[in-house]
């Protein structure tokens, strides 16, 4: 929890499962290689409580993620913040409580 990384990429999958949902992000490096990162979110029941659904994140969404990398060398991150600039969605894990700013729908 003492290290933080930032990833910019495209959502390839969102698994809205118990106990912790996962968002898979494809990150492209400067040399053009691609790597799949698995981002773990807070527990599903708390996410439901703040308005997250199985359709909140979709394949193709461009996102920026800030989080704590896994302990081993696998490309995994515990998501502390996730922004979707296209519509202003902002998810943040503050302490033990998640918050989300959902985009305004016209």
- Our count of domains for the chain comes to 1
Q: Is residue 27 part of a domain?
A: yes
Mean pLDDT of 45-56: 95
CATH of the domain at 24: 2.40.50.140
Mean pLDDT of 41-66: 96
Could you read off the pLDDT of 83-101 as tens digits, one per residue?
Answer: 999 999 999 998 888 999 9
Whether residue 105 is predicted with pLDDT greater than 70 in this model: the reply is: no
Q: Is 18 exposed, middle or buried (0-12, 13-18, 19+ CB in 10 A)?
A: exposed
Whether 106 is covered by a domain: the verdict is no
Do residues 43 and 23 touch, judged by C-beta distance below 8 A?
A: no
**Structural domain boundaries, residue 91:** 5-101
Please provide the average confidence, as pLDDT, over all residues in the chain. Answer: 93
Q: Does residue 29 lie in a domain region? A: yes
Asked whether residue 85 is domain-assigned, the answer is yes
């Amino acid at each position: 929890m003492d290290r933080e990384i930032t990833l910019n990429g495209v959502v390839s999958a969102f698994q809205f499962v118990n106990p912790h949902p996962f968002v898979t992000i494809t990150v492209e490096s400067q040399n053009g290689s691609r790597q799949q990162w698995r981002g773990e979110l807070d527990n599903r029941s708390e996410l439901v409580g703040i308005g997250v659904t199985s359709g909140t994140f979709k394949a193709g969404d461009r996102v920026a993620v800030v989080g704590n990398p896994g302990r081993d060398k696998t490309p995994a991150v515990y998501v502390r913040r996730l922004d979707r600039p296209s519509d202003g969605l902002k998810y943040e894990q503050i302490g033990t409580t998640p918050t989300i700013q959902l985009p305004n729908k016209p």
